[in-house]
Structure 1
């Protein structure tokens, strides 16, 4: 009976160590991932969001109040990415991986977008609230 308990305890310790290792490895991989992805918003444009979906063939979405745009994006050199869409014609963005932010020029003005989620998510709450 004691041997059975030791084996069971050893198995639990092994599984726990494996789970922690997988979690830490995944966290490190996501932190160091060089291609922009996820959902980003801007404080100066409260109804604007940009979504970068790596798994959907590098698809890019832009939402701002009643304006939408869809296109693709690609990685340039170290911190550069390029957006190609009807609104953003090969527009360069400078991505800061540590802060998870990027700057972009929209209609002649420069804006800072911050990552709110690593998951590409479409945010409709602001639009729905303004319609009431």
Structure 2
């Protein structure tokens, strides 16, 4: 009978330690430093219904800009948490103000300011066949 009680107490202590450990891990993860959101995926703009911007982190930070029959390919880099810069033949060191929580960014194109919203987390390139 004593052996049974010792085993039961041992199992209860082990369960208690697991519960406390799980709780502590959750607290550590909750308060750990969060990485800043990453600019990646496919974005569109309501004011420019035929325009999209694609950011591909895995392809050496390549971006693509499509609008009607216009296309520009270049690279992008991170400045601060909310600032990114794009470079291509159309965009020379153009600043993007990125909001990672809303998955949106603001950019000036030809003197006008536009808001682009993420519509896919993946970088999708749409090519139309004629």
Above 0.5 in TM-score?
A: yes
Aligned equivalent of 2:100: 97
Distance between the aligned counterparts of 1:118 and 1:33, measured in 2?
Answer: 16
1:33: how far off? 5.2
1:123: how far off? 2.5
Output one character per residue of 1:65-102: Cα deviation in whole Å (capped at 9) or x when no partner. 01000000000012100001010000000000111000
Aligned equivalent of 1:38: 41
TM-score normalised according to structure 1 size: 0.69
Q: Name the SS of the counterpart of 2:105 in structure 1.
A: strand
Query: Which residues in structure 2 correspond to 1:64-83 (within 5 Å)?
Result: 64-83=67-86
Q: Is the 8 A contact 2:37 2:101 kept in 1?
A: no
Structure with larger Rg: 2
Distance between the aligned counterparts of 1:85 and 1:35, measured in 2?
Answer: 20
Aligned equivalent of 2:109: 106
1:122: how far off? 1.1
Structure 2 gap segments, 5+ residues each: 1-33
After TM superposition, where is structure 1 displaced by more than 4 Å over at least 4 residues in a row? none
Question: How many residue pairs get matched?
Answer: 98
TM-score normalised according to structure 2 size: 0.70
Distance between the aligned counterparts of 1:50 and 1:64, measured in 2?
Answer: 9
Structure 1 gap segments, 5+ residues each: 1-30
Q: Is the 8 A contact 1:52 1:59 kept in 2?
A: yes
Aligned equivalent of 2:65: 62
Distance between the aligned counterparts of 2:87 and 2:123, measured in 1?
Answer: 18
Q: Is the 8 A contact 1:39 1:51 kept in 2?
A: yes
Output one character per residue of 1:7-54: Cα deviation in whole Å (capped at 9) or x when no partner. xxxxxxxxxxxxxxxxxxxxxxxx955320000000000100000000
